[in-house]
Structure 1
Amino acid sequence: MWASIEHAIEQVTNQPFSIKHKQPATGGDINLCYWISNYHQNFFVKLNDKSHLEHFESEAYALEQINQSQQITCPEVITYGVTLDKAFLVLSYIPFETPEAKDWYHLGQQLAYMHKRATHGQFGWQHDNYIGDTLQPNHWQSNWRTFFAEQRIAWQLQLLHEKSIKLGNIDHITQVCHDALLHHQVTPCLVHGDLWQGNMGFYHHKPVIFDPACYYGDREVDVAMTELFGQLPDDFYLGYHDTYPLPNNYEQRKLIYNFYHVLNHANLFGGIYIDQSKAVLSRILSLH
């Protein structure tokens, strides 16, 4: 397997590469991850079953789109492919460092610049992709509230329903979420799509984001998710708001946007996330 990965790296870099150092690395719950090196070149490798290749192709495409926006740094895609029994994705290796307050401010700024400048005419993405290990539909849609209600909320509710986890009438919940976004005007922009603290880091005071689930959507979905598992440092939000202030009533929409991620966690992990989904749904229904 590793010989195939060495060869794939050589094909792209046009330099000989032989692994002299290999070390397991943290990389989420889905993939096996490694830092590999020949003492001159360093790479980050993700491994999974061969059937996972489409996930890696989607991730590579999203990373390339973020890099092309030239607003915020993310790992460079080196190569991806399959061995006899594994799919792999090779990225540039970035040794993260402890950030300072100003680094969080710059992250907020740079995310805001990406949202402001990487825009599109419709909501969606060039293909369906993945949020964690869950398929994420991205069919082009001109109406944001329809896109989010149907391709985010209704989709997750249906997946739960197929596991015999029923939170209520899917059509009714979808309609409530749709109506909550009724008067919100949105310009489609490139969003990371899975922006929690575990998917960001810093190197030489430069912010880096990774593990994206990109699409063109409402920029508020990224800001909202940074608050889902505990807020980031205040400097991040100050940097964002100084650059691209959020419109009124964001707090109400944040609940709808993060409902999607709570539902996805319920689908992926079950347990307490099912209870959390019910609790968030009760809040949504009480407000609308």
Structure 2
Amino acid sequence: MDPRKLLERAGLEAKGAPEPLYGGDISRVYRLGAYVVKLSPNPPLGLFPAEARGLRALAERGVRVPRVFFASEEGLILEYLPEGPPDWEGLARMLAGLHRQREASYWAEAGFLGTFPLPGGEGREWTEFFFSRCIEPLLRATWDRLEGLGPKVEALYQKPLPAEGPAPLHGDLWHGNVRFTLEGPALLDPSFFVGERGVDLAMMRLFGGFPQEFWRAYRALYPVPEEVERALPRYQVYYLLAHVYFFGEGYLDSLWKAISAS
């Protein structure tokens, strides 16, 4: 679809030619004036509406995100956020504020990690909720590609994960989903759910990670207990299983290292 067609469908207008932006491995992303249009050739049913719900959920909890103008099965129209200077301390304040919030239970609407569908649900026991909602679906989808690591993954969740309390999470918080804007740090492309903050912290240690400037500020604002630090490899298994699913067996070595560190 031409991004201008989606703007027309939403009753919005932007002049000029679409400017391609980086959209990762899933979406085609364009800037048209004040708008960002996200499209995908064959998106799974519910992908863009789920992203819109996640952005709104983060905004309701005090996180800067692009405003959602329109969401449909065909695509998403967001506010364009002009780029600003890096502000790692500001990002630490925003994330510590998010992670300190508490909700009544662990919960998620049906959603996605990338384009991988994840079920909705609710629970009060964290380890069981995390395994059934996040690990088990990916484990079933990748079992035949894990070269015998499947039972080792299952065994990781036989012992309880530490629980500080149900907190709202971005859910896919690698550095590519952070944008520094003129008004401060903002988050993009969430896989929102309510869980333990270790899930976000674990992803923030993968794939290049965040600089020490961020971690010093975050830990000063919201210290990370030793038991949460020790659990981070078990949370990283979630994201590494997803990478095996999307990109293949080249991630098995990283998966094995996370299992061994758990």
**TM-score of the alignment, normalized to the shorter chain, above 0.5:** yes
Residues 148, 178 of structure 1: 8 Å contact kept: no
Shift of 1:245: 1.4
Structure 2 residue 53 is matched with structure 1 residue 61: yes
Question: Of 254, 260, 266, which residue of structure 1 is paired with 2:244?
Answer: 266
Q: Partner of 2:157 in structure 1?
A: 177
Give, as a single letter, the amino acid of the residue that structure 1 aligns with 2:67.
E
Q: How far apart, in 2, do the equivalents of 1:124 and 1:175 lie?
A: 23
Shift of 1:204: 1.8
Residues 24, 33 of structure 1: 8 Å contact kept: yes
Question: Of 39, 47, 64, which residue of structure 2 is paired with 1:73?
Answer: 64
Give, as a single letter, the amino acid of the residue that structure 2 aligns with 1:215.
F
Residues 262, 276 of structure 1: 8 Å contact kept: yes
Q: Structure 1 residues 167, 280: closer, same or farther in 2, change over 3 A? A: farther
Q: Partner of 2:106 in structure 1?
A: 123
Give, as a single letter, the amino acid of the residue that structure 1 aligns with 2:23.
G
Shift of 1:50: 5.6
Question: Of 189, 195, 198, which residue of structure 2 is paired with 1:220?
Answer: 198
Question: Of 77, 90, 101, which residue of structure 1 is paired with 2:77?
Answer: 90
Secondary structure of the structure 2 residue equivalent to 1:202: strand
Shift of 1:160: 0.4
Give, as a single letter, the amino acid of the residue that structure 1 aligns with 2:105.
Q
Shift of 1:98: 3.7
Give, as a single letter, the amino acid of the residue that structure 1 aligns with 2:216.
L
Q: How far apart, in 2, do the equivalents of 1:232 and 1:29 lie?
A: 21
The gaps in structure 1 that reach 5 residues or longer are 11-15
Residues 149, 175 of structure 1: 8 Å contact kept: no
Q: How far apart, in 1, do the equivalents of 2:31 and 2:25 lie?
A: 17
Give, as a single letter, the amino acid of the residue that structure 2 aligns with 1:90.
I
Residues 20, 31 of structure 2: 8 Å contact kept: yes
Secondary structure of the structure 2 residue equivalent to 1:91: strand
Give, as a single letter, the amino acid of the residue that structure 1 aligns with 2:70.
T
Deviations 1:85-134 (A, max 9, x none): xx1100000122341xxx101101110101112x3211121x21000111
Give, as a single letter, the amino acid of the residue that structure 2 aligns with 1:4.
K
Shift of 1:269: 0.7
Shift of 1:187: 0.8
Give, as a single letter, the amino acid of the residue that structure 1 aligns with 2:159.
D
Q: Partner of 1:13 in structure 2?
A: none
Structure 2 residue 236 is matched with structure 1 residue 254: no
Structure 2 residue 1 is matched with structure 1 residue 5: no
RMSD: 2.0
Residues 154, 171 of structure 1: 8 Å contact kept: no
Structure 2 residue 124 is matched with structure 1 residue 146: no
Question: Of 98, 117, 137, which residue of structure 2 is paired with 1:114?
Answer: 98
Question: Of 22, 25, 36, which residue of structure 1 is paired with 2:21?
Answer: 25
Residues 62, 213 of structure 1: 8 Å contact kept: yes
Shift of 1:2: 4.4
Deviations 1:180-222 (A, max 9, x none): 51xx233111100000100001112501111000100001211
Shift of 1:148: 1.5
Shift of 1:6: 2.6
Residues 188, 218 of structure 1: 8 Å contact kept: yes
Larger radius of gyration: 1
Give, as a single letter, the amino acid of the residue that structure 2 aligns with 1:109.
R
Residues 84, 184 of structure 2: 8 Å contact kept: no
Shift of 1:170: 4.4
The gaps in structure 2 that reach 5 residues or longer are none
Secondary structure of the structure 1 residue equivalent to 2:53: helix
Shift of 1:263: 0.8
Q: How far apart, in 1, do the equivalents of 2:158 and 2:207 lie?
A: 24
The percent of aligned pairs where both chains have the same amino acid is: 28
Q: Structure 1 residues 282, 238: closer, same or farther in 2, change over 3 A? A: closer
Structure 2 residue 128 is matched with structure 1 residue 132: no
How many residues matched? 261
Residues 199, 210 of structure 1: 8 Å contact kept: yes
Moved over 4 A (4+): 169-172
